[in-house]
Every structure is written in C-alpha cells, then in structure tokens.
Amino acid sequence: MGKGLLIAVEGIDGAGKTTVANFLFSYLKSIGYDVLLLKEPSDSIYGQKIKNSEERLPAEEELMLFLLDREIDVRERIRPALESGKIVIMDRYYYSNIAYQSARGIDAEKIRQLNEKFAPKPDLVILLDVSPETALRRIKPRGRITAFEARDYLEKVRQNFLKIADERTVVVNAEKQIEEVKKEVSEIVKKLIDSYNSCGS
C-alpha cells in the first residue's frame, strides 16, 4: 500500500466502538497490514482535561479542548502514520465532535469546518448505530453514568450521527450480536482496502 488509510469508528457511548476498533486492529495486523490504533480524546494536556473533568464543561470550551487535542494528535501521530503508509484506526474522531457538541447547540457545520481545516478526512467512517436503551444497558456495568451518557442526550447525539452520515459513512446495526457486527465490519473494511489496492495498481 502507498498512502495510508484512515478509518474512524463512531457511535454513541455503549455502541461498541472500542471493541470493534480493537478487533479491526488485530484483524488487519493478522492479514499483514501495518496498523495504528488511536483513541480520542488522547492523553495530551487538553485530552486529559476533558477526561478528568468532574462535570460537563461549557459547550464552547469543550469544543475548543477537543480541537486542541486533535491538532496535536493529527500533527504528532495521525499524519506521520498515514504518510508512512499505515492504516490508522480511530476509536472516535471528529464526527463524534460534530454529533456530541451540536447536541449542545453549536452549529454542526461550524464544527465540521473547524476540524477539517487541519484534520484529514477519513477514508471510511463506520457508524455503529444502537438505541440509547441498548447503549445504557451496556454502559451500566461500568459504574457511574456520565453527563455524556444521559438518555435524552444520547438520543439527540444518535440522530445527529445519522444526519451527518456522508458518502464516507457506512451505518452498521450494532444491536446485533458482536460477532455478527465484527464480521460485517471486517467485510466493509476489506472491500475498501481491495478497491484502494486495485486503484493503486
């Protein structure tokens, strides 16, 4: 492979993003690809501030922290990996930013433009779609429900994800058994890589 590929795994909390992203990482490595798995927010000072805040930050401040965190991630890890021909898998990317922060009243198009000024567009977005009820049932064993995970808010975010789905997005029904979801995702990704390889040959 020449230029790398950027794959974002998106969806509301409890949709199974981390499980699917980890699976994809292992699957692609097992068939011989050089893969990097990243999770947002990252461990930068801005990412830490988001992760460690006890209460939800004001919407504009939260968005700014996500943008600052992502700028570092893009500069230090995402772009260098893509330029060296790796497949980069994102466990959340800027589509999450659009869906979550627009649910708090910030214009979705504004969030997209701010991100796309510096963040490379993904080649593929896998949107894991589940109902808030399913998501909350899965989240519950983790312990305390955060402000990101209130039912009505999750429904708003879910609808936002479906609204912003574009030509790069494949919506996967993540209500199904995880093995079925993994199988479907691996087929989607394999198809992308095969079409990319045939174009480059």
In sequence order, what are the residues at sequence separation of 6 or more whose Cβ sits closer than 8 angstroms to the Cβ of residue 161?
10, 11, 12, 95, 99, 127, 129
The alpha carbon of residue 66 and the mean position of all alpha carbons in its chain are separated, in whole angstroms, by: 13
Angle between helices 94-102 and 151-164 in degrees, nearest 10: 130
Q: How confident is the model at residue 148 (pLDDT cuts 50, 70, 90)?
A: low
pLDDT of 78 above 80: yes
In this prediction, residue 23 carries a pLDDT of 98
Look at residue 88 and give its three-state secondary structure: strand
Domain of 175, CATH number, reads 3.40.50.300
Cα–Cα distance measured from residue 156 to residue 176, given in angstroms and rounded to the nearest whole number: 22
pLDDT of 143 above 80: no
Residue that is written with structure tokens 């691996």 in the block: 186
Instruction: Calculate the CA dihedral of residues 132, 137, 140, 142 and round it to 10 degrees.
Output: -90
The model's pLDDT over 9-64, given as tens digits with 9 standing for 90+, comes to 999 999 999 999 999 999 999 999 999 999 999 999 999 999 998 888 999 999 99
pLDDT of 201 above 50: no
Residues 80, 29 contacting (CB under 8 angstroms)? no
Count the helices and strands in the chain (H runs, E runs).
Answer: 9, 5
Question: Containing domain of residue 93, as a range?
Answer: 5-200
Q: How many domains does the chain have?
A: 1
Residue that is written with structure tokens 């995880």 in the block: 178
Two structure tokens written together for 138: 């899965």
